[in-house]
Amino acid sequence: MLPDQIIEPDTLRTDDGRVSVSIRIPWYRALPLSSVSQVGLDIDGHQVPNESIVWRTAHGERYALDELPPRHDKWWFVLDSAVLEGDLPPLAEADEHEVHVVIGLYIPYVPAADGAPLVLEQDRKTMKLEAAA
Amino acid sequence: MTATTAALGTPIQGVTLYSLTRFWHSRQMTFPELVREVARRELGPGLEIVGFQSIRDFPRVDENFVREFRDLLDETGLVPTALGANADAGLRRDRMLTDDELVEYMKPQIDVARRLGFPIVRVQYSVTPDDMERLLPVAEAASVTLGMEIHAHHSPRHPTMQALLERYEKLGSPHLGFIPDWGSTMSQVPRSLLEKYRRREIAPELIAEVDKYWNSKHGAGGLTDEEQQRQLEEFADLARSYGADDIAFELAINATSLFGHGEVSEWLDILPWAVHTHGKFYEIDSAGEDPSVPARELLDLYVKNGYSRTISTEWEGFHWNDWENAFDIIAKQQALLRDATEQSGSRMIVDAAEARAVRGWR
């Protein structure tokens, strides 16, 4: 649902070897962070290593991806951005870069028999990479 | 109750803000702006919201929100119908919530309905008949009615819903009921989804196969859980066989959990227990008709069986349809519902005072 809304335009930033992009929930209602089943971020086809990714909430909290599953006490509200931040892959010099984000979600009121996520959405957008001031 | 002896029903028009998700999610409109626009365009008088969508920190709701919401209702004249609660049994990754935990999870949501003035709380199928019985005194104390949503892949004849019906008949309480979602009884895959696939340049042969496959499963009533699982895999395989891996997952989920195969006549089983309705639709064609949800047939059944409760227009086409304005398409569906009701010899109630009087709401 709403995959076109995932990547927020013009939010690609780099600072000291790290890269970040702002994202929105591809769902209509707030979900607990424990609902986030899968995250993928690549830039110009270069994967940002998952183990380097930090999930930053709108409230300034920071979670490694493997810290999300137990957080059924923390919510991603439908109007709030989250930020994915990870190690900057080696990018060729270019005016603009293609950002690709994959988000998988468990939907807590549709418990799947085999534990499979119910939502798997992706978005691609092209934008400038802005260095931190 | 039979069609020949019951007085004709006069359903009450309304809308759920869920239909307007794109305006909300994209931050184009605030909550008060959405409510005011619903009133300005006369899409009420009924107003439904989903707690976890519209209210930050739900079900923790402060008094400011309660006061602002009630002021907004006074200002617009809209009538609160149902508050969408969620039965998040799959909240945790390590295990499902226990029945005790799920019951506790529902209680504060029910209390929000009371505070905001919603007479009905939508609940979902993870709430078992036993859970429902345990929540009955909570609903009574809050003066609200719990409505179990019957949503695809479920239909009224699904064993889960039949078990609940049996319990309702035993308990006989006006605080328990069902909320039919018309997506349970569709007539074909939405044309707008096929249009979206064409815009995405999906192979025309695959688009035709999707339509054909769904139709081939139609006519035998709603799916069992096992049939749903099997069709989920078959739809995904179908997409992959055309190399359309990127749509395989969403196609399979949509086709098996949104587009229900139930027969319209199945609603008769539970209609005496229907306390509210999700008037689900995906599209209205250029003739003003709904190609995928049999609205006229549904309204005819509702009217002839004396249904005089609320219907929330619920546009779900926004999942893929980003080229039409939600407010406009809602108005078109409501025009169709009004016309269908008149064709069946009755009318829809669109006046707030009359709606309150018919329902006995203050």
pLDDT higher than 80, residue B169? yes
Structural contact between residues B135 and B127, judged by C-beta atoms closer than 8 angstroms: yes
Task: Return the pLDDT at A111.
Answer: 74
What one-letter code names the amino acid at B42?
E
| 3-class DSSP assignment, residue B62 | coil
A130 φ, ψ to 5°?
-100, 130
Question: Taking CB atoms and an 8 Å cutoff, what residues of chain A touch B22?
Answer: 2
| ipTM of this complex | 0.96
Can you tell me the distance from the alpha carbon of B82 to that of B72, in angstroms, rounded to the nearest whole number? 16
All domains in chain B, ordered by first residue: 12-186+262-359 (3.20.20.150), 191-256 (no CATH)
Chain B CB contacts of A122 below 8 Å: 246
Q: Which residues of B touch A77 (CB under 8 A)?
A: 56-57
Q: Which residues of B touch A4 (CB under 8 A)?
A: 322
pLDDT of residue A117: 72
Measured CA angle at B32 (ends B27, B34), to 5 deg:
60
Task: List pLDDT tens digits, range B85-127.
Answer: 999 999 999 999 999 999 999 999 999 999 999 999 999 999 9
Measured distance CA(B202)–CA(B340) in Å, rounded? 35
pLDDT bracket for residue B362 (50, 70, 90): confident
Q: What is the pTM of this model?
A: 0.96
Q: Do A106 and B96 touch (CB under 8 A)?
A: no
CB B337 within 8 A of CB B10: no
Q: Report the residue of A25, A74, A77, A110 to disrupt the B interface, i.e. the one with the largest count of B CBs within 10 Å.
A: A110
Residues of B taking part in catalysis: 151
Q: With 0-12 CB in 10 A as exposed, 13-18 as middle and 19+ as buried, what is B243?
A: exposed
Omega within 30 of 0 (cis) for the link into B59: yes
Which residues of A have a CB under 8 Å from any CB of B? 1-2, 4-5, 24-25, 28-30, 32, 34, 69-70, 72, 75, 77-79, 106-113, 118-122
Q: What is the pLDDT of residue A114?
A: 63
Q: Give the three-state DSSP class for A87.
A: strand
Question: Is B289 near chain A, with CB under 8 Å?
Answer: no
Nearest to B272 by CA among B302, B310, B313: B302
Show me where the domains of chain A are located: 3-131
pLDDT of residue B2: 47
The mean pLDDT value for A45-52 works out to 98
* A28 closest CB neighbour out of B25, B88, B126: B25
**CA A94 centroid distance within chain:** 23
pLDDT tens-place string over residues B286-315:
999 999 999 999 999 999 999 999 999 999
Provide the 3-class DSSP secondary structure of residue A44.
coil
Distance CA B267, CA B265 (A): 5
- Whole-angstrom Cα distance, residue B229 to residue B223? 9
CATH code for residues A3-131: 2.60.40
Average pLDDT for chain B: 96
Instruction: Determine contact, residues B348/B338, Cβ cutoff 8 Å.
Output: yes
**For chains A and B, what is the number of CB pairs under 8 angstroms?**
77
Contact at CB, B27 and A30, closer than 8 angstroms: no
> What value does the CA radius of gyration of chain A take, rounded to a whole number of Å?
15
